[in-house]
Structure 1
Amino acid sequence: MGCVLKEEEKVGLLKVGFFKDGSEKSKFLSYSYESRIMSVLYGMGEKERIDMASILNLSLRLCRAGKIYGFWYNDNDSCVYMVCENINSTGLLKFFYNEEEERLSSDKISGFGIVSMEMCEILISLISEGLIIGCLDVNCFVFNDFGRVYVDLGKVLSMGRRVNKAIQRGHKDLEVSLKTEVLENLVFISPEMLLKLFCKEGFELDCGKSIYEVGFGSDVWSLACLLISLIIGGSFIKEMAIYVDFIVNAANDGNVYSYVSLCKDWMENVKTLLGCRLGLEYEPQKDLLCRCLEFDISSRPPVTELWKCLRELVLKPNFDFGVTLKHEEKKEKTGHCVLLGDLCRIAEDTNKEEIDGLQQKYEIGRAGVSRDVVEGLSGGHIECIDMKGHLDCITGLAIGGGFLFSSSFDKRVHVWSLQDFTQVHTFKGHEHKVMALIFVDGGQPLCISGDNAGVICIWEASFPFNEKPLKKLHEQKDWRYSGIHALAVSGTEYLYTGSGDKLIKAWSLQNHTLSCTMSGHKSVVSSLIVCNGILYSGSWDGTVHLWSLSDHSPLAVLGEDTSKNVTSVLALAAENNLLLVAHENGCIKMWHNDLLVKSLQTHNGAVFAASKKGRWLFTGGWDKTINVQEISEVGDQIDTVPVGSIACDSVITAVIYWQEKLFVGQSDRVIKVYYGV
């Protein structure tokens, strides 16, 4: 059951993210109130969402915790806030005694005992849930209308962010920042927790990891400091200033062990102050509170033992009828720590540059759960991500092994992650423009690229990548012809190259030698594709030749025009018995079982790229437009239905459709990833 917000009830707000309206990229999309909140929550990292879920679940399960009602979107600042219960209370400050009297009265000690027991009970409940707060301050605990102690989860998160922000300021302002938190805001952080935070921020500490391993005992240290501050008053704050000096100096020097003895001296001073305030009558409580301050986390008592000891301040031992508190501490050494979680590392104030960066990260992540680009196109809801890194026109795209490979006139082959669409590697080995590339999915994944000087580079296409090629092959040089224009593979057996010398060459992928040469075209072989045991080759002579993969013999020629009305073939796509041929004049010809069944004029200019997957055909070219057609086959009958088009800002040179996303290579050096939303 969720929490209900009453009318006129005051609440606390904790910022969790900024919403940036992306409607300028999609004119058909308008975000609802709920979708704005959900988009911000989705834009958070996975660890942040896990932290948030832990806090939300805790607010529902823990009866002594302030409730979290949900989330609220503020139109004024475009931010989403977590809405928390705001218990109207003065907190623990009324128990903070500044007067330096020698001894506390019995009434004050009894009142302190009741409050401290309830604080211990809350901490025991948190431990039973496997949760470590990481630090405590006087504002974390509040009183309800009946005087019972509650933990305010909203203030816990707010405190955690302040502490992380203080640590993130680094070496220069660290001492000032920490003293502000500890002395002015009365925040108490155990030494191992501070050292852990220092390590996360890049401080180099000359100590073993065990010295800053946090656990449930870290909160015992913080709670003990909070209780001692209620007993001693202002004198303890002065001692905390000394403690901060010790820890900061240890972090700056990098040598923690040299400060351990100083911390022990500090603990003895605290013990003396406690003795003055409590007297000999409460020696057990004084000793146990000091044990809670041990530098070694394993030497600190469990919070259940602290509860039993503090109970004697309220109920004398001779009136104790054997009531005990069940030991609820989990067997694990550590639990989930709020202070170390990503939710406490979200900046309170985010500038515009950070917001734009977060939005780009969100858009990239959202593409991972996007709708099919075709569905988005039909509904008018598509978005795209720009992948930049090449220095010249994109010439080819290939996908395999979890990566996208791209070739360019800049003589480079780039490798991109298909998870977040970032560049992960660059293959360097060509000295001329790379014209084509292909992926070989075998026992050893390969990426093969060819340039206009006739050089073929074979790259290992698995992580970790090498900059240098595994093997280089060279076509016979002839100054009259351009080099390689097209590549295709037949499994892991043969590599086929189409070149400016009008020939198709078959290279063995086993021993990297030239196996045979296929001739028949009258001009540049511009495109190659393998499908159903047949090699298709397209040429500037306007024809498509069919070759047997078994013996590389010619099978047929498509598109021979006796009227000499020749239009160059620039791209091929094939699936089953359907062949699609893209021409220089913007025409797409469809061949079924070697018969021309349909001709479409879909573009105003040359069609440089085509990709078919299932019933979808994607084409793009000189007119800077991607056309999408739905193709249906009934027997020998082929029907096409235009789905829509995408206007691009540059000439389209490569297209590949993969897992409901459309990857587009452009002449302006950019690769675009289109997806539906």
Structure 2
Amino acid sequence: MELPECPVCLQVYNNEETIPRVLSCGHSACEACLTLLPQRFPNTIRCPACNQLVLYPPHPHGPSALPKNIDLLRFIHQQHPFPNPNPNSSQPLKTINPTSSQPQFLPRLWSEDFYSNWKDWILPMDSVSVEEMSDDLCSVFQGRITSFSSPSPIRLSCFRENQMVSLVRVASSFLSDPASAFNFSYVARIMEALNRMDERGRDELGSIVRALSRQFRVCKVYGLWMNSEDGCIFLVCERFQGNLLERLNESRNGVAADLDGLTDEKLNWGIEDGMLGIAMAGMELFEAVIGFHSEGLVSGCLALSCFRFDDFGRIYADPNEILVTGRRVRKCIAEATSEKRISDYLDTEVTFTNLLKTQAFVSPEVLFELLYNESIVPECGSLGFSVGYGSDVWSLACILVRILIGNPFTEELFRSLHRLFSTTSEENRSERLDLYMGWMEKVSSALGNILGTKFASLQHILCRCLSFDPESRPLVTDAWRCIRELVIKPHVDILASVKGTIAKENAVHCLILGELCHLLKETENKSESQEKDDSSGADVDQVGEMRVNRDLFEGMSVGTVKSIDLQGHLDCITGLAVGGGFLFSSSSDKTVHVWSLQDFAHLQSLRGHEHRVMAVVFVDEEQPLCISGDSGGGIFVWGIGLSLGQEPLQKWYEQKDWRYTGIHALTVSGTEYLYTGSGDKSIKAWSLRDYTLTCTMNGHKSVVSTLAVCDGILYSGSWDGTIRLWCLNDHSPLTVLGDVAPGNMASVLSLSVDSHMLVAAHENGFVKIWRHDVLVRSTQTRDGAIFALGMEGKWIFMGGWNKTVYVQELAGDDFEIDTRSVGSIACDSVITALLYWQGKLFVGFADKVIKMSILYSRASNARHRGLSNIDFSCTANPSSL
């Protein structure tokens, strides 16, 4: 036989070390453990066996003032003379991991870690204003940072209002289904879109936002922003107004005009100054690319449009322009691929002509990868070179040579690349490479004529950068140092140091070959007929078109709300309760209606009240009871069974005085007490055995508007703006929550309690959350009073004056609590009552209607199979009232 043991330390009781002390609830625990239990309220502890609050002797007596369990000690001594032969042995604590079988309101669309990784990169909905918007995937849009009202990420706090930003579309949300009654929140829609992205594309986007947000000479990445109108999600970056291409052209034209008619000596000075200016620009171009390489990122193709300069003339690389440049290049290649599939013929000259229009410089090895991926060149024509940091070095050199020589260089370059890739047979490969080397010689000669002997080192480094073999090209840091030496003499350059700034070669990620430079497909949902037409004739990979993964989207059916209206009341709904297979609804029409939870048919109208019925509760005992209270102080007890009687089993009235304004709230503690919150500022406890008044709890300074019971504590909210806690054992006051400072009072209209969490809704629209009686969060959800609130597990439901049900998710840890806006359901009337029960949301309105809603998903379809016989297209209405 197992001997009795302490429920805390699991040690067998004895009369020496483990002394059993009897608590007022009847359970015992050892004296040593009782001294270690936390005291949440003065002179009270929670019994470790039944979890009830019990009185605890004050200091200095403590547990020694409690009686010993003599009978328990006598029993142990009779069974075993040495009950604890090994008192030093340690036994593991028994832990209970309760598993909830309650259905979830929404399926988990993303993990907690996923949310934590991305939440700080989502910009507030009102943080960006865009001047012009379209569906063009190959364009950079301009916008500004606004003075937004919602909380902003820390990285935005240092930027001024009207700061210029650039935006590039990177994803789209599919959750804004106009046919759905449930509207997912702004953050939830972005999270859903990110979670649905290809993993490689999402990882690439994460690398960009995390890495480039801290790099100098790179336009800072602010985060992600969604246009709520069309669901397009954009990468938002810092933007400078300075256009590098325009400035260089102006500089070249200005130098040419100033030098006209000058002497040879002054002409040489002017040319030298111009070359130094270009060298300084080239040095900063390389510095900007070093910022990418230090994070292991390679652009893969660069153009002058990828760089901008600030008010001080410093050049920055623009990540959004680089992404868009890559998309334009891939678009040219994709269009050529589409034409080949239609005509079985590929004109490579057209392809390179289109690439020339982009003014983007793509290194030969990157260009081969793009053409090979699109099956334009066969594998046998492989160049044998890998993509790496040298690819950007080649592109930067092309930009500098383009600045020095002009457009003829660009045209000749693409003609040379066209000849190189027009055929890939091994017999002609060496001949094509000879053509490239011939082009290199022409470039070197042209640079020599322009730069002269004074800048011969610049000519030499640029030619090395243009080498066909990436292994022969210098590192970007070496090229930067060489160009810097033209501006600052090495023996006086004490600041140059870029050692260790480049990531390892095996960690390289090329953006143009990545997922973000793929042409995104369209997010608009097509009709089935349109899809059939497209599949019959057009190419499914047509440029600018993206198909929705409809199997996933329609299979999830996230956001599809099925609902029915329960009509029968003649006035505002004031309360809802569930129990015994029934739904009970109270109303200002002085009745309580009973509805079946099987098919939601109207079963009974409970009549007898002479005033507005303000609240209703269900008592689950041997004979189930429904109790209702009205504004005249009447309390009616109704018997619930196979036949629902018309007459109440019991009724009585609270004592009235000149302050009295009726009953405003009801709650029950098991089958022992009924508690009423009254207009006379008191809370009354009524025995459910003989329906007599047991005690009256005073303390509130205004109407007691809401009540809740949890874990042996009664919670009462009042119009005085406070929440009071009472011990259910002796109805003594425990503590007061809320701000009672003058001018800060806001009436508490609804409460919901779950374990150690307390959520309260206020008249001013604020929702406050307490954990272990400590305020951890206070937010204003929307304007207007919140009349109804419910909490089930991690979900919080609320509604009120603005005719919308808001759904929030609780998250956090022991140090911080977070509330996430998941979505909302727009309604037609003010929300006055709300109840969530087993995956179903019951909402009572001021327009006399009760709406039962189910948010369908793949999980809820299986969960609600029992509701398949319900016609959601019609309303439940009693045949006779």
Deviations 1:267-294 (A, max 9, x none): 1111111111101222222111101111
Q: Which residue of 2 aligns with 1:134?
A: 300
Residue of structure 2 aligned with 1:191, choices 364, 373, 376: 364
Deviations 1:301-337 (A, max 9, x none): 1112111211122123564569553253334256011
Deviations 1:210-260 (A, max 9, x none): 624211111110011111111122331232232332244146999654421
Q: Which residue of 2 aligns with 1:341?
A: 514
- By how many angstroms is 1:91 displaced? 1.7
Deviations 1:406-463 (A, max 9, x none): xxxxxxxxxxxxxxxxxxxxxxxxxxxxxxxxxxxxxxxxxxxxxxxxxxxxxxxxxx
Deviations 1:460-484 (A, max 9, x none): xxxxxxxxxxxxxxxxxxxxxxxxx
Percent identity of equivalent pairs: 34
Q: Which residue of 1 aligns with 2:471?
A: 298
- By how many angstroms is 1:71 displaced? 2.7
Partner Cα separation in structure 2 for residue 40 and residue 268 of structure 1:
50
Aligned residues of 1:19 and 1:39 also touching (Cα < 8 A): yes
Report the 3-state secondary structure (helix = DSSP H, G, I; strand = E; otherwise coil) of the residue aligned with 1:313: helix
Partner Cα separation in structure 1 for residue 247 and residue 389 of structure 2:
28
Q: Which residue of 2 aligns with 1:157?
A: 323
Q: Which residue of 2 aligns with 1:94?
A: 247
Aligned residue identity for 1:308: R
Aligned residues of 1:292 and 1:301 also touching (Cα < 8 A): yes
Q: Does 1:35 align with 2:188?
A: yes
Instruction: Compute the TM-score of the two structures, normalised by the length of structure 1.
Output: 0.51
Partner Cα separation in structure 2 for residue 95 and residue 123 of structure 1:
19
Q: Which residue of 1 aligns with 2:332?
A: 166
Partner Cα separation in structure 2 for residue 321 and residue 38 of structure 1:
48
Aligned residues of 1:131 and 1:337 also touching (Cα < 8 A): yes
Aligned residues of 2:217 and 2:316 also touching (Cα < 8 A): yes
Q: Does 1:228 align with 2:228?
A: no
Q: Does 1:200 align with 2:341?
A: no
- By how many angstroms is 1:17 displaced? 2.9
Q: Which residue of 2 aligns with 1:18?
A: 172
Aligned residues of 2:380 and 2:426 also touching (Cα < 8 A): no
- By how many angstroms is 1:132 displaced? 0.6
Q: Quick one: structure 1 residues 356 and 341, their matched pair in 2 at CA, closer, same or farther if it must change by over 3 Å? A: closer
Partner Cα separation in structure 1 for residue 347 and residue 462 of structure 2:
31
Aligned residue identity for 1:151: A
- By how many angstroms is 1:295 displaced? 0.9
- By how many angstroms is 1:175 displaced? 3.5
1:297-376 equivalent positions in 2, closer than 5 A? 297-317=470-490, 319-320=492-493, 323-333=496-506, 335-347=508-520, 352=526, 353=531, 357-360=547-550, 362-363=552-553
Residue of structure 2 aligned with 1:145, choices 287, 308, 311: 311
Structure 1 gaps of 5+ residues are 381-640, 645-657, 666-677
Aligned residues of 1:130 and 1:335 also touching (Cα < 8 A): yes
Deviations 1:87-125 (A, max 9, x none): 111223322447999987111111112211122122223
Q: Which residue of 2 aligns with 1:49?
A: 202
Deviations 1:533-566 (A, max 9, x none): xxxxxxxxxxxxxxxxxxxxxxxxxxxxxxxxxx
- By how many angstroms is 1:158 displaced? 0.9
Residue of structure 2 aligned with 1:121, choices 279, 283, 287: 287
Q: Quick one: structure 1 residues 377 and 332, their matched pair in 2 at CA, closer, same or farther if it must change by over 3 Å? A: same
- By how many angstroms is 1:56 displaced? 0.6
- By how many angstroms is 1:347 displaced? 2.9
Report the 3-state secondary structure (helix = DSSP H, G, I; strand = E; otherwise coil) of the residue aligned with 2:520: coil
Aligned residues of 1:127 and 1:330 also touching (Cα < 8 A): yes
- By how many angstroms is 1:195 displaced? 0.1
1:190-589 equivalent positions in 2, closer than 5 A? 190-207=363-380, 211-250=384-423, 256-317=429-490, 319-320=492-493, 323-333=496-506, 335-347=508-520, 352=526, 353=531, 357-360=547-550, 362-363=552-553
Q: Which residue of 2 aligns with 1:3?
A: 156
Structure 2 gaps of 5+ residues are 1-153, 260-266, 341-345, 532-539, 565-836, 841-857, 866-881
Aligned residue identity for 1:126: F
Aligned residue identity for 2:294: S
Partner Cα separation in structure 2 for residue 32 and residue 350 of structure 1:
18
- By how many angstroms is 1:33 displaced? 2.2
Q: Which residue of 2 aligns with 1:179?
A: 353
Aligned residues of 2:297 and 2:508 also touching (Cα < 8 A): yes
Deviations 1:49-98 (A, max 9, x none): 11111111123120221122233332444422222222111223322447
Instruction: Compute the TM-score of the two structures, normalised by the length of structure 2.
Output: 0.40
How many pairs does the alignment contain? 386
Q: Which residue of 2 aligns with 1:74?
A: 227
Q: Does 1:107 align with 2:273?
A: yes
Q: Quick one: structure 1 residues 286 and 80, their matched pair in 2 at CA, closer, same or farther if it must change by over 3 Å? A: same
Deviations 1:602-621 (A, max 9, x none): xxxxxxxxxxxxxxxxxxxx
Aligned residue identity for 2:171: G
Q: Quick one: structure 1 residues 32 and 254, their matched pair in 2 at CA, closer, same or farther if it must change by over 3 Å? A: farther
Aligned residues of 1:91 and 1:143 also touching (Cα < 8 A): yes
Larger gyration radius, structure 1 or structure 2: 2
Q: Which residue of 1 aligns with 2:622?
A: none
Aligned residues of 2:372 and 2:379 also touching (Cα < 8 A): no
Partner Cα separation in structure 1 for residue 181 and residue 516 of structure 2:
33
